[in-house]
Amino acid sequence: MTAVIAVTIGLLIEGPHIGWTSPWILAGYTCAALAAAAFAWAELRRGEPLIDPRLFRRPVFTGAVLGAVAVFVALNATLLLNTLYLQHTRGWTAFQAGAATLPMAVGATLCAPWSGYLVGRVGPRRPLALGGAFIAAGGLSLAALDRDTGVLLLLTAYLLIGTGFGFANAPLTNTAVGALPRSRAGVAGAITSTARQLGSALGIALAGGLVAGAGAAELAHASRPGWLMVTACGLFLLLVARTARPGSGP
């Protein structure tokens, strides 16, 4: 699995530079596919697999794991695109660019415990839907980003994305754990945590690939697909919310 992730991230990073159909990239596709197949084959034959592929036959569990990937793709793409845009296009200092993300941190900090409370009272569906809606709204707010976009709009978008991030984490874990037998609760939590780390790496690689080679003048326009990707991650969470249990948490 480590080889699959490493090769995939490497392909996403190097693809824009050497071409998506170059021999090296095609060889990478093949290696990643073979490594994934070998991992699944080996795990299916083990009495106590590290990651049992059969767990992903449960749509609710699979949706929660993919939702965790999507949340962290959105978060890390936002952090990278924000940093590059504010420092290179707007000419802000590193301190100023970092300070601009404070609304994101505030939204996540305030909404994370609220999300946990909602999961305990009404189940994961409602907070997960809120998380998806806020992330999608934040990404869509910046889909037409240019070098003169107002600071208030930027801060509002960051607040929306941070709020969505705060709402999304608790219900995703709850949904993943609740989709499996209690004896597999630890496995479900571990896989979800790993999915978050995978999402972080994918978010950086995808966002970096989108703006690779763009100068300061073109960076805002080049980053627009990245903000649409953030929007898509939020919309995907709305789909995951539909599969989550509507009742109270366990």
pLDDT in tens, 48-97: 777 888 888 889 999 999 999 999 999 999 999 999 999 999 999 999 99
Query: What does the domain layout of the chain look like in residue ranges?
Result: 1-50, 56-243
DSSP structure class, residue 179 = T
First to last CA, the chain: 31
Q: What CA–CA distance (Å, rounded) separates 218 from 147?
A: 9
Pull the structure tokens for residue 162.
Answer: 């941070």
CA-based torsion, 126, 131, 135, 141: positive or negative: positive
**Cβ-contact 220, 149 below 8 angstroms:** yes
Q: What mean pLDDT is predicted for residues 194-210?
A: 92
Residue 145 has pLDDT above 90, yes or no: yes
| C-alpha dihedral sign at 123, 124, 126, 127 | positive
pLDDT for residue 203:
94
Name the amino acid, one letter, at 176: A
15 vs 225, higher pLDDT: 225
- Amino acid, single-letter form, for residue 10: G
pLDDT above 90 covers a percentage of the chain that reads 60
CATH topology for 56-243 is Growth Hormone; Chain: A; (1.20.1250)
- Specify the range with the lowest mean pLDDT, choosing from 95-109, 177-191, 221-235: 177-191
